[in-house]
Amino acid sequence: MARRPRVIVVGAGFAGLNATRELAKGGALVTLVDRNPYSTFQPLLYQVATAGMGTADVSYPIRTFAARWPNVRARRAAVSKVLPAERRVEFEDGSGLDYDYLVLATGVTTNWLNVPGAPENALPIYSLGDAAALRRRLQHYLEDTAAGRRKSTHVVVVGAGATGVEMAGTLAELRRHTTPLTHPEVRPEQTSVTLVERFDFVLSPYKPRLRDAAAEALRRRGVHLRLGATVASVEPDAVVLEDGTRLPSDVTVWALGVAAPKQVSDWGLPQGKGGRVTLTEALNVRDHPEIFVAGDLSGQPDPLPQLAQPAIQMGKHVGRQILAAAHGRPLRRFSYRDPGIMATVGKAEAVLQLPNGMTMRGLPAWLVWIFVHVAYLLGGRNRVNVLINFFWRYFGPRRTATSVTQ
């Protein structure tokens, strides 16, 4: 390279971090930008929401990450404008940066699917702030129920994808095993966990036998399943289904649907389904080939599930293509290598599906799920803390379970 390219990476999620790592190793001058000073490990947010882990266990400072390479800088800022013609990004504080290449890896946001009352009365679980807010709501409502200031703490989880299943299963275990210890004043009929799904099964990407196994595991834990049910509206104290059924809900958790942030439409880039940016096979914008998009915001020709692995692989690919372009080499199309999918239901229960058709469930799948997630965490301290928290929460002395709701 005659001159090291200046690259701005917007977003410190799986895609942004992996793009930054590839670019840093290749010698590019990288500025990693995020509205938060930390990166969040989203697959474990449900553990934060249910007080099994602290916020520090699933977050990592982006400046600490950037400090690994002398050619990487971190900046806390929120993007307000992308000016492709000027090759410039402007931030909400009025400042801006010029670039040779731009990587947009901002992720997406909650999609309320135009359901009346959902934005006002339901709690999403997409960010660290969301998880902390849900945790506080649950704790306060349980305290109020124990003190007689509330009649109940019923929870309805909307959406039976991996996040919804994991949330419902963990909440049900808390209700059955922990709440009687921490809040003995609360009667069993004052609490419940209900999972609502518009399909007739949970975990739609999985094979039928794994779906059925997950559903049965949820029922054993006391989760009420409302399958084949579509939400018509969300009220402050209930979730209303299209058939008119009202499900009592003191806390409604929205684990259904994501969409591109509204400000993306102001960036002058082509958008497709869900507001995602329309891209070439190399993951860059056709009319602005210096702009690449990775992760959930990416609208590549072959749609991929909005999971960690696609984001990781897209981030790596984008970093390599920018280095190739800077050296004058042609870009290569992105090809996804499917490592399989997995989801946990609760203690010693998970489902795993590999691309070759092999499946696994129960304790072996649960152990694989734990170690895979720990391996992808940033920072040795976080890995150790999360591993200890997992096994202490599920295999420690029974009375130590009281710590999870303090």
Domain spans, the chain: 6-108+260-326, 122-257+340-395
pLDDT band at 406 (very low <50, low <70, confident <90, very high): very low
Is residue 374 scored above 90 in pLDDT?
Answer: no
**Residue 250, phi then psi, degrees to nearest 5:** -80, -30
Tell me the CA distances in angstroms from 380 to 20, 58, 156, 370, one per residue in order: 20, 12, 35, 15
One-letter amino acid of 333:
R
Average pLDDT, the chain: 92
Which residues are CB-contacts of 51 (< 8 A; sequence separation ≥ 6)?
A: 135, 138, 139, 404, 405, 406
Q: Express each pLDDT in 269-313 by its tens digit.
A: 999 988 899 999 999 999 999 999 999 999 988 878 888 999 999
CA–CA gap between residue 292 and residue 283 (Å, rounded): 6
Q: Are the beta carbons of 348 and 395 closer than 8 angstroms?
A: no
Is residue 130 scored above 70 in pLDDT?
Answer: yes
Q: Which fold has domain 6-108+260-326?
A: FAD/NAD(P)-binding domain (3.50.50)
CA–CA gap between residue 122 and residue 251 (Å, rounded): 7
In this prediction, residues 119-127 reach a mean pLDDT of 95
CA–CA gap between residue 250 and residue 171 (Å, rounded): 14
The answer to pTM > 0.85 is yes
Give the tokens for residue 73.
């800088």
Q: Express each pLDDT in 378-399 by its tens digit.
A: 888 788 888 887 777 777 665 5
In this prediction, residues 45-67 reach a mean pLDDT of 92
pLDDT band at 51 (very low <50, low <70, confident <90, very high): confident
Q: In the prediction, which pLDDT does 319 show?
A: 98
Q: Express each pLDDT in 161-194 by its tens digit.
A: 999 999 999 999 999 999 999 999 999 999 999 9
Q: In the prediction, which pLDDT does 388 show?
A: 83
Q: Are the beta carbons of 146 and 183 closer than 8 angstroms?
A: yes
Is residue 364 scored above 90 in pLDDT?
Answer: yes
- Match domain 122-257+340-395 to its CATH number in 3.40.50.2300, 3.30.420.80, 2.60.40.10, 3.50.50.60: 3.50.50.60
6-108+260-326 and 122-257+340-395 have identical folds: yes
